[in-house]
Amino acid sequence: MITIHGSPVSPFVRKTLVCLIEKGIEHEVNAISPFPPPESHLKISPLGKIPAMTDGDLAIPDSSAICGYIEKKHPEPPIYPVEPGDYGRALWYEDWADNELPKATAALFFNRVAVRMMKREPDEEVIKKIISDIQPPIFDYLEKEIGDKTYLLGDSFSIADIAITCQFIQMMYSGEALPEASHPNITRYVTHHMHRDSFKGLINNDPFMDLD
Ligand SMILES: N[C@@H](CCC(=O)N[C@@H](CS)C(=O)NCC(=O)O)C(=O)O
Protein backbone atom coordinates (compact mmCIF):
# COMPACT_ATOMS: atom_id res chain seq x y z
CA MET A 1 0.00 0.00 0.00
CA ILE A 2 1.12 3.57 -0.66
CA THR A 3 2.17 5.47 2.49
CA ILE A 4 2.60 9.23 2.46
CA HIS A 5 5.06 10.32 5.14
CA GLY A 6 4.41 13.85 6.38
CA SER A 7 1.89 15.96 8.23
CA PRO A 8 -1.33 16.54 6.21
CA VAL A 9 -1.06 20.21 7.25
CA SER A 10 1.83 20.65 4.76
CA PRO A 11 0.69 22.02 1.37
CA PHE A 12 3.02 19.58 -0.39
CA VAL A 13 1.65 16.60 1.52
CA ARG A 14 -1.87 17.88 0.73
CA LYS A 15 -0.98 17.91 -2.98
CA THR A 16 -0.12 14.20 -2.95
CA LEU A 17 -3.17 13.31 -0.86
CA VAL A 18 -5.54 15.14 -3.21
CA CYS A 19 -4.03 13.21 -6.16
CA LEU A 20 -4.55 9.90 -4.36
CA ILE A 21 -8.10 10.76 -3.30
CA GLU A 22 -9.08 12.04 -6.78
CA LYS A 23 -7.88 8.73 -8.24
CA GLY A 24 -9.56 6.66 -5.52
CA ILE A 25 -6.26 5.01 -4.48
CA GLU A 26 -6.09 3.36 -1.09
CA HIS A 27 -3.30 4.87 1.02
CA GLU A 28 -2.21 5.65 4.54
CA VAL A 29 -0.53 8.65 6.13
CA ASN A 30 2.44 8.55 8.50
CA ALA A 31 1.98 12.01 10.02
CA ILE A 32 5.53 13.09 10.85
CA SER A 33 6.77 16.66 11.27
CA PRO A 34 9.91 17.82 9.41
CA PHE A 35 10.86 20.22 12.25
CA PRO A 36 13.06 18.21 12.81
CA PRO A 37 12.33 14.99 10.92
CA PRO A 38 12.82 11.67 12.69
CA GLU A 39 16.20 10.09 11.89
CA SER A 40 14.48 7.24 10.01
CA HIS A 41 12.87 9.76 7.59
CA LEU A 42 16.27 10.71 6.14
CA LYS A 43 16.51 7.22 4.65
CA ILE A 44 13.52 7.92 2.38
CA SER A 45 13.88 11.71 2.11
CA PRO A 46 17.57 12.72 1.88
CA LEU A 47 16.73 16.44 2.26
CA GLY A 48 14.64 15.70 5.36
CA LYS A 49 11.54 17.27 3.78
CA ILE A 50 7.95 16.10 3.65
CA PRO A 51 6.27 14.48 1.83
CA ALA A 52 8.04 11.26 0.99
CA MET A 53 6.18 8.21 -0.26
CA THR A 54 6.80 4.52 0.16
CA ASP A 55 5.09 1.82 -1.87
CA GLY A 56 6.45 -1.52 -0.73
CA ASP A 57 10.23 -1.27 -1.05
CA LEU A 58 10.05 1.82 -3.29
CA ALA A 59 10.76 5.23 -1.72
CA ILE A 60 10.19 8.55 -3.51
CA PRO A 61 10.64 12.00 -1.93
CA ASP A 62 9.16 15.27 -3.28
CA SER A 63 5.51 15.96 -4.08
CA SER A 64 6.07 16.38 -7.84
CA ALA A 65 7.98 13.10 -8.13
CA ILE A 66 5.30 11.38 -6.06
CA CYS A 67 2.42 12.77 -8.16
CA GLY A 68 4.25 11.78 -11.36
CA TYR A 69 4.64 8.24 -10.03
CA ILE A 70 1.00 8.04 -8.99
CA GLU A 71 -0.10 9.21 -12.45
CA LYS A 72 2.03 6.56 -14.25
CA LYS A 73 0.90 3.78 -11.94
CA HIS A 74 -2.78 4.78 -11.83
CA PRO A 75 -3.50 6.76 -15.02
CA GLU A 76 -7.26 7.08 -14.46
CA PRO A 77 -8.65 9.62 -14.01
CA PRO A 78 -5.70 11.63 -15.38
CA ILE A 79 -4.45 14.57 -13.33
CA TYR A 80 -1.82 15.54 -15.94
CA PRO A 81 -3.13 16.70 -19.35
CA VAL A 82 -2.47 14.36 -22.28
CA GLU A 83 -2.12 17.03 -25.00
CA PRO A 84 1.64 17.87 -25.14
CA GLY A 85 1.25 21.65 -24.90
CA ASP A 86 -1.13 21.45 -21.97
CA TYR A 87 1.14 18.85 -20.34
CA GLY A 88 4.12 21.21 -20.59
CA ARG A 89 2.08 24.12 -19.22
CA ALA A 90 0.83 21.89 -16.36
CA LEU A 91 4.43 21.09 -15.37
CA TRP A 92 5.24 24.81 -15.45
CA TYR A 93 2.27 25.74 -13.24
CA GLU A 94 3.09 22.91 -10.84
CA ASP A 95 6.69 24.08 -10.53
CA TRP A 96 5.60 27.72 -10.14
CA ALA A 97 3.01 26.77 -7.50
CA ASP A 98 5.58 24.76 -5.54
CA ASN A 99 8.47 27.21 -5.72
CA GLU A 100 7.25 30.78 -6.38
CA LEU A 101 3.68 30.97 -5.05
CA PRO A 102 4.65 29.79 -1.52
CA LYS A 103 6.64 33.01 -1.06
CA ALA A 104 3.26 34.81 -1.04
CA THR A 105 1.07 32.16 0.62
CA ALA A 106 2.67 29.35 2.64
CA ALA A 107 5.26 31.87 3.88
CA LEU A 108 2.45 33.47 5.91
CA PHE A 109 1.62 30.13 7.52
CA PHE A 110 5.29 29.53 8.24
CA ASN A 111 5.85 32.96 9.76
CA ARG A 112 2.58 33.14 11.73
CA VAL A 113 1.84 29.55 12.74
CA ALA A 114 4.79 27.20 12.18
CA VAL A 115 7.22 29.50 14.02
CA ARG A 116 5.11 29.10 17.16
CA MET A 117 5.37 25.31 16.82
CA MET A 118 9.15 25.90 16.88
CA LYS A 119 8.71 28.00 20.05
CA ARG A 120 9.50 31.30 18.30
CA GLU A 121 7.40 34.46 18.09
CA PRO A 122 6.10 35.64 14.67
CA ASP A 123 7.98 38.59 13.18
CA GLU A 124 5.29 41.14 12.23
CA GLU A 125 7.68 43.07 9.97
CA VAL A 126 8.32 39.97 7.86
CA ILE A 127 4.57 39.28 7.63
CA LYS A 128 3.81 42.89 6.57
CA LYS A 129 6.49 42.71 3.87
CA ILE A 130 5.06 39.46 2.46
CA ILE A 131 1.63 41.09 2.13
CA SER A 132 2.76 44.48 0.84
CA ASP A 133 5.75 43.61 -1.40
CA ILE A 134 5.86 39.93 -2.21
CA GLN A 135 2.19 39.10 -2.82
CA PRO A 136 1.22 41.70 -5.46
CA PRO A 137 3.43 40.64 -8.42
CA ILE A 138 2.88 36.93 -7.75
CA PHE A 139 -0.89 37.31 -7.40
CA ASP A 140 -1.05 39.64 -10.45
CA TYR A 141 0.57 36.97 -12.65
CA LEU A 142 -1.87 34.28 -11.49
CA GLU A 143 -4.89 36.59 -11.75
CA LYS A 144 -4.15 37.10 -15.47
CA GLU A 145 -3.43 33.41 -16.10
CA ILE A 146 -6.75 32.38 -14.56
CA GLY A 147 -8.83 35.06 -16.29
CA ASP A 148 -12.39 33.72 -16.45
CA LYS A 149 -11.33 30.05 -16.42
CA THR A 150 -12.38 27.38 -13.95
CA TYR A 151 -9.46 25.09 -14.85
CA LEU A 152 -6.04 26.41 -15.80
CA LEU A 153 -5.67 23.84 -18.59
CA GLY A 154 -8.34 22.73 -21.03
CA ASP A 155 -11.61 21.91 -19.41
CA SER A 156 -10.45 19.52 -16.74
CA PHE A 157 -9.09 19.56 -13.25
CA SER A 158 -5.33 18.98 -13.26
CA ILE A 159 -2.17 19.04 -11.17
CA ALA A 160 -1.95 22.79 -11.92
CA ASP A 161 -5.25 23.43 -10.10
CA ILE A 162 -4.25 21.07 -7.29
CA ALA A 163 -0.81 22.62 -6.66
CA ILE A 164 -2.15 26.19 -6.73
CA THR A 165 -5.17 25.52 -4.53
CA CYS A 166 -2.95 23.74 -1.96
CA GLN A 167 -0.89 26.89 -1.50
CA PHE A 168 -3.88 29.22 -1.02
CA ILE A 169 -5.35 26.87 1.57
CA GLN A 170 -2.06 27.25 3.45
CA MET A 171 -2.42 31.03 3.32
CA MET A 172 -5.98 30.76 4.68
CA TYR A 173 -4.71 28.50 7.48
CA SER A 174 -2.61 31.47 8.59
CA GLY A 175 -5.81 33.52 9.03
CA GLU A 176 -5.47 35.50 5.78
CA ALA A 177 -8.58 35.72 3.57
CA LEU A 178 -8.52 35.26 -0.20
CA PRO A 179 -7.81 38.58 -1.99
CA GLU A 180 -11.39 39.18 -3.14
CA ALA A 181 -11.14 42.92 -3.85
CA SER A 182 -7.73 42.96 -5.57
CA HIS A 183 -7.77 39.52 -7.24
CA PRO A 184 -11.35 38.35 -7.88
CA ASN A 185 -10.35 35.64 -10.41
CA ILE A 186 -8.02 33.97 -7.89
CA THR A 187 -10.71 34.17 -5.22
CA ARG A 188 -13.40 32.60 -7.44
CA TYR A 189 -11.03 29.90 -8.74
CA VAL A 190 -9.64 28.83 -5.34
CA THR A 191 -13.06 28.92 -3.68
CA HIS A 192 -14.40 26.63 -6.42
CA HIS A 193 -11.60 24.05 -6.16
CA MET A 194 -11.26 23.95 -2.39
CA HIS A 195 -14.89 22.82 -2.22
CA ARG A 196 -14.17 19.63 -4.19
CA ASP A 197 -14.74 16.57 -1.99
CA SER A 198 -11.00 15.71 -2.08
CA PHE A 199 -9.92 19.11 -0.72
CA LYS A 200 -12.90 19.59 1.59
CA GLY A 201 -12.35 16.29 3.42
CA LEU A 202 -8.71 17.15 4.07
CA ILE A 203 -9.45 20.74 5.14
CA ASN A 204 -12.14 19.62 7.57
CA ASN A 205 -9.69 17.15 9.14
CA ASP A 206 -7.17 19.94 9.81
CA PRO A 207 -7.58 22.20 12.87
CA PHE A 208 -7.54 25.57 11.02
CA MET A 209 -10.88 26.04 9.21
CA ASP A 210 -14.13 24.28 8.33
CA LEU A 211 -16.02 24.19 5.04
CA ASP A 212 -19.73 23.31 4.58
N1 LIG B 1 9.76 20.50 -3.30
C2 LIG B 1 9.31 19.81 -2.12
C3 LIG B 1 9.07 20.81 -1.01
C4 LIG B 1 8.70 20.12 0.30
C5 LIG B 1 8.82 21.05 1.49
O6 LIG B 1 9.46 22.13 1.44
N7 LIG B 1 8.23 20.64 2.62
C8 LIG B 1 8.38 21.39 3.84
C9 LIG B 1 7.12 21.28 4.70
S10 LIG B 1 5.75 22.10 4.03
C11 LIG B 1 9.50 20.79 4.64
O12 LIG B 1 9.63 19.57 4.71
N13 LIG B 1 10.31 21.64 5.27
C14 LIG B 1 11.36 21.20 6.12
C15 LIG B 1 12.69 21.72 5.69
O16 LIG B 1 12.75 22.51 4.72
O17 LIG B 1 13.68 21.33 6.31
C18 LIG B 1 8.03 19.02 -2.45
O19 LIG B 1 7.33 19.42 -3.39
O20 LIG B 1 7.76 18.00 -1.81
- What value does the mean pLDDT take over residues 6-21? 98
- In this prediction, residue 82 carries a pLDDT of 94
Residue 18 has pLDDT above 90, yes or no: yes
Q: Domain-by-domain residue ranges, the chain?
A: 2-73, 84-205
Q: Are 172 and 178 in contact (CB under 8 A)?
A: yes
CA of 6 to the centre of ligand 1 (A): 10
Does residue 167 have its Cβ closer than 6 Å to ligand 1?
Answer: no
pTM: 0.97
- What value does the mean pLDDT take over residues 94-112? 97
| Model confidence band, residue 89 (pLDDT cutoffs 50, 70, 90) | very high
Does residue 65 have its Cβ closer than 6 Å to ligand 1?
Answer: no
Does residue 63 have its Cβ closer than 6 Å to ligand 1?
Answer: yes
Classify domain 2-73 at the CATH topology level: Glutaredoxin (3.40.30)
Residue 117 has pLDDT above 90, yes or no: no
Q: How far is residue 154 from each of residues 38, 149, 161, 169, measured CA to CA in Å? A: 41, 9, 11, 23
The tens digit of pLDDT for each residue in 119-173 reads 899 998 999 999 999 999 999 999 999 999 999 998 999 999 999 999 999 999 9
- In this prediction, residue 148 carries a pLDDT of 97
CA of 114 to the centre of ligand 1 (A): 13
SS (H, E, C) 11-68: HHHHHHHHHHHHCCCCEEEECCCCCCCCHHHHHCCCCCCCCEEEECCEEEECHHHHHH
20 vs 117, higher pLDDT = 20
- What value does the mean pLDDT take over residues 185-202? 98
Q: Whose CA is nearest to atom 1 of ligand 1?
A: 62
- What value does the mean pLDDT take over residues 40-58? 97
Nearest in space to 5 (alpha carbons), one of 19, 17, 22: 17
Q: Whose CA is nearest to atom 15 of ligand 1?
A: 49
**pLDDT more than 70, % of the chain:** 100
- What value does the mean pLDDT take over residues 9-35? 97
- In this prediction, residue 35 carries a pLDDT of 87
| Model confidence band, residue 112 (pLDDT cutoffs 50, 70, 90) | very high
Give DSSP secondary structure letters for 103-149: GTTHHHHIIIIIHHHTT----HHHHHHIIIIIHHHHHHHHHHHHTT-
Helix (H) or strand (E) holding 162: helix 159-173
- In this prediction, residue 118 carries a pLDDT of 83
> Distance between CA 147 and CA 50 in Å, rounded?
32
- In this prediction, residue 133 carries a pLDDT of 98
Q: 3-state DSSP call for residue 52?
A: strand
- In this prediction, residue 129 carries a pLDDT of 97
* Candidate from 18, 47, 49, 164 with most ligand 1 atoms within 8 A of CB, to mutate: 49
Q: Which CATH architecture has domain 84-205?
A: Up-down Bundle (1.20)
| Model confidence band, residue 186 (pLDDT cutoffs 50, 70, 90) | very high
